[in-house]
A and B are shown apart, each in its own frame.
Chain A
Amino acid sequence: MVNRKLVRFLSFRYIILASILIVLAGGLVLLPKYEKREGISPETLLSNVISPERYITTDELADRIINQDPSLLLIDVRDKNNFNKYSLPNAVNIPLKNVLDVDSEPYLNQDQYDVILFSNDNLYSDQAWVLCNRKGYKNLHVLKGGINTWFSTIINPKQPTEDMPSNAFKQYAFRKAASMYFGVAYPKKAQKQAVITKNTNTVSVPKKIVPKKKKKKMPVEGGC
């Protein structure tokens, strides 16, 4: 038996399908619009925040600075006073409150350099890192421990005691050498050098005075 009602219904099948399409497409137009969030999804941000991959140690950073790694871009997120007092060589000052400014975007949002954020500890730089990471910027790193750890490890390294492993001594040697690169003078070495210089320069040679002739300024002549 042919179901007559079904047959009659199915004779309109194309019209029904067409109207379903129009209703669905019209529904898209009528949907209430909402602002889409920019940048990465919350899940990715969370997993990025948890992962310790973003940290770079002071030793590694010192090694890269000394080897004149051209891909480094150091960014100081402390305020201007602190930046003027002391900062790492060739650092750029972008205070935390200015991280999202238009002017600072070219520094942070690029894929040419390894951006290294640092502050006194890694607290503010972590905040800056979260802000930038949220916007989807790449190659961002945070100096572990910030300037404080930089001082206690690179600038003023602790001498290892005798019962420490040989690695600690190697590390100490590296840090001491690095601190000399960054301009720390060790009084013992300075004294020794002074002694050597005295021994070599025993005979005092009277200084020859070479008179420099001062060029007379010629009056400006008229040119053609």
Chain B
Amino acid sequence: MGPLIPNDIISFEWSSIIAIIIGIFFGFILEASGFSSSRKLAGVFYGYDFAVLKVFFTAAIVSLIGLLYMDYLGYVDMSRLYVHPTYLWGAIIGGAIMGIGFVAGGFCPGTSLSAVAIGKIDAMVNVVGIMVGVFIFSELYPLFEPIYNGYFQGNITLVDSLGVNPFWFVFLLTIVAIIMFFATDLIRKRVKKVFY
């Protein structure tokens, strides 16, 4: 059966409509689980709330395990899924900048928009900041171009670049994640509680 859109089970024209529907649900669940609060998001860095880490790591592992099972049973052809291309240094530098912005502003791009939707002023300032950043980047694009387009590694995954068995990799990752969840829980109990 495979991925629905590449295999023409759902026609290509539906893709943006489906994306909008998924986006609405994503935003709703982000808001419902409290991710529109910058204090909750920044809690990862100060050690009083690790919900962000737990949620996103769990999401990654659940989808990984689910995809591998569905690939094994022939419902999804993993080789036809879109893998985002890797630009090594662009990703590292961009990730660092995004991390600084995350700590300083208390939002990542997605959560800032869901916080704008419920009318938070700091999130609006954050979104304006993102726009300013985008503007600066596009104006100085010739300067950044070699990093932006350089160090291209192709559409590789972690499993490809490490050359390990994907099943063992997922199993170890799951165990590491669960150990991490317990460890962060211990840290959270030690750190002084913050009311937010």
A residues with CB within 8 A of B: 14, 18, 21-22, 24-26, 28-29, 31, 41
CB-contacts of B174-189 with A (<8 A): 174-175, 177-178, 181
Q: Quick check: A22 and B174 within 8 Å, CB to CB?
A: yes
CA distance A25 to B171 in the complex (A): 5
Q: Quick check: B65 and A21 within 8 Å, CB to CB?
A: yes
A28 to chain B, nearest CB (A): 4
Size of the chain B interface, CB-CB below 8 angstroms: 18
Q: Quick check: B61 and A28 within 8 Å, CB to CB?
A: no
A25 contacts across to B, CB distance below 8 A: 61, 65, 170-171, 173-175
CB-contacts of B68-89 with A (<8 A): 68-69, 72, 77
A18 contacts across to B, CB distance below 8 A: 178, 181
Partner of B72, one of A26, A31, A41: A31
Q: Quick check: A21 and B61 within 8 Å, CB to CB?
A: yes
A24 contacts across to B, CB distance below 8 A: 65, 69
Q: Quick check: B178 and A26 within 8 Å, CB to CB?
A: no
B177 contacts across to A, CB distance below 8 A: 21
B residues with CB within 8 A of A: 58, 61-62, 65, 68-69, 72, 77, 167-168, 170-171, 173-175, 177-178, 181
Q: Quick check: A28 and B167 within 8 Å, CB to CB?
A: yes
Partner of A29, one of B58, B61, B171, B178: B171
Name which residue of chain B comes closest to A26, CB basis. B171
Total CB contacts across the A-B interface at under 8 A: 36
Q: Quick check: A29 and B174 within 8 Å, CB to CB?
A: no
Known interface pairs A28-B167, A28-B170, A29-B167; A22-B175 also in contact (CB < 8 Å): yes
CA distance A18 to B77 in the complex (A): 27
A14 contacts across to B, CB distance below 8 A: 181
Q: Quick check: B171 and A21 within 8 Å, CB to CB?
A: no
Partner of B178, one of A22, A28, A31, A41: A22
A88 to chain B, nearest CB (A): 37
Name which residue of chain A comes closest to B165, CB basis. A29
Q: Quick check: B65 and A28 within 8 Å, CB to CB?
A: yes
B58 contacts across to A, CB distance below 8 A: 21
B168 contacts across to A, CB distance below 8 A: 29
28 contacting pairs across A/B (C-beta < 8 A): A14-B181, A18-B178, A18-B181, A21-B58, A21-B61, A21-B62, A21-B65, A21-B177, A21-B178, A22-B174, A24-B65, A24-B69, A25-B61, A25-B65, A25-B170, A25-B171, A25-B174, A25-B175, A26-B171, A28-B65, A28-B68, A28-B72, A28-B167, A29-B167, A29-B168, A29-B171, A31-B72, A31-B167
A23 to chain B, nearest CB (A): 10
Name which residue of chain B comes closest to A43, CB basis. B7
Known: A25-B65, A28-B171. 7 other contacts (CB 8 A): A14-B181, A18-B178, A21-B174, A25-B170, A25-B171, A28-B69, A31-B167
Name which residue of chain B comes closest to A21, CB basis. B174
Interface centre among A14, A24, A31 (most CB of B within 10 A): A24
A25 to chain B, nearest CB (A): 4
Name which residue of chain A comes closest to B65, CB basis. A24
CA distance A215 to B61 in the complex (A): 86
